[in-house]
Amino acid sequence: MCEDESIEVAANRVLQERTGLDDIFLKQFNVFSEPERAKRNPIVQDLIDSGANPDLKWFDQRFISVGFYALVDFSKVEPTPDSISDLCAWKNLDEVDSLILDHLQILNKALETLRLQLNYQPLGYNLLAEKFTMPELQRLYETILAKELDRRNFQRKILSYSILNKLEERKTGGAHKAPYLYEFNLENYQKALQNGLYGGW
Amino acid sequence: MCEDESIEVAANRVLQERTGLDDIFLKQFNVFSEPERAKRNPIVQDLIDSGANPDLKWFDQRFISVGFYALVDFSKVEPTPDSISDLCAWKNLDEVDSLILDHLQILNKALETLRLQLNYQPLGYNLLAEKFTMPELQRLYETILAKELDRRNFQRKILSYSILNKLEERKTGGAHKAPYLYEFNLENYQKALQNGLYGGW
DNA sequence: ACAAAAGTGTTATACGTACACCCATGC
DNA sequence: GCATGGGTGTACGTATAACACTTTTGT
From the list B35, B145, B196, the residue facing A201 with the nearest CB is B145
Residue ranges of B 43-82 with Cβ closer than 8 A to chain A: 62, 64, 66
CA gap B68, B30 in Å, rounded: 8
Residues lining strand D, beta carbon within 7 angstroms:
A 133-135, 151-153, 155, 174-180, 199; B 150, 152-153, 156-157, 160, 170, 172-178
Cα–Cα distance measured from residue A31 to residue A10, given in angstroms and rounded to the nearest whole number: 15
> What one-character-per-residue DSSP string does A138-173 give?
HHHHHHHHTS---HHHHHHHHHHTT-EEEEEEE--S
Task: Please name the member of B6, B62, B119 whose beta carbon is closest to the beta carbon of A33.
Answer: B6
B113: part of which helix (H) or strand (E)?
A: helix B103-117
The predicted pLDDT at position B52 comes to: 64
Q: pLDDT digits over A136-173, tens only?
A: 999 999 999 999 999 999 999 999 999 999 999 889 88
Residue A81: which pLDDT band, with cuts at 50, 70 and 90? confident
Condensed to tens digits (0 to 9), the pLDDT of residues A85-144 reads 888 999 988 898 888 788 999 999 999 999 989 988 999 998 999 999 999 999 999 999
Res A199: pLDDT: 65
Closest CA to A29 of A89, A63, A62, A69: A69
3-class state of residue A77 by DSSP: coil
10-residue block means of pLDDT along chain B (201 residues)?
88 93 93 87 77 70 92 89 87 86 92 91 93 96 94 96 93 90 95 83 77
With b meaning 16 or more CB within 10 Å and e meaning fewer, what string describes B56-85?
eeebeeeeeebbbbbbbeeeeeebeeeeee
pTM of the model: 0.88
Q: What are the φ and ψ backbone dihedral angles of B75, each rounded to 5 degrees?
A: -70, -15
Q: What is the pLDDT of residue B38?
A: 79
Q: Do the Cβ atoms of B30 and B19 come closer than 8 Å?
A: no
Which of chain A's residues have a Cβ under 8 Å away from the Cβ of B30?
A: 28
Provide, in whole angstroms, the distance separating residue A199's CA from nucleotide C12's C1'. Answer: 19
pLDDT for A52:
64
Examine the pLDDT at A71 and tell me if it is beyond 70.
yes
Phi–psi pair at B70, nearest 5 degrees: -125, 155
Distance B179 CA to C4 C1' (A): 13
Q: What is the mean pLDDT of residues A60-76?
A: 90
Q: How far apart are CA B164 and CA A78, in angstroms?
A: 53
Among the partner-chain residues A30, A118, A201, the one whose CB lies closest to the CB of B200 is A118
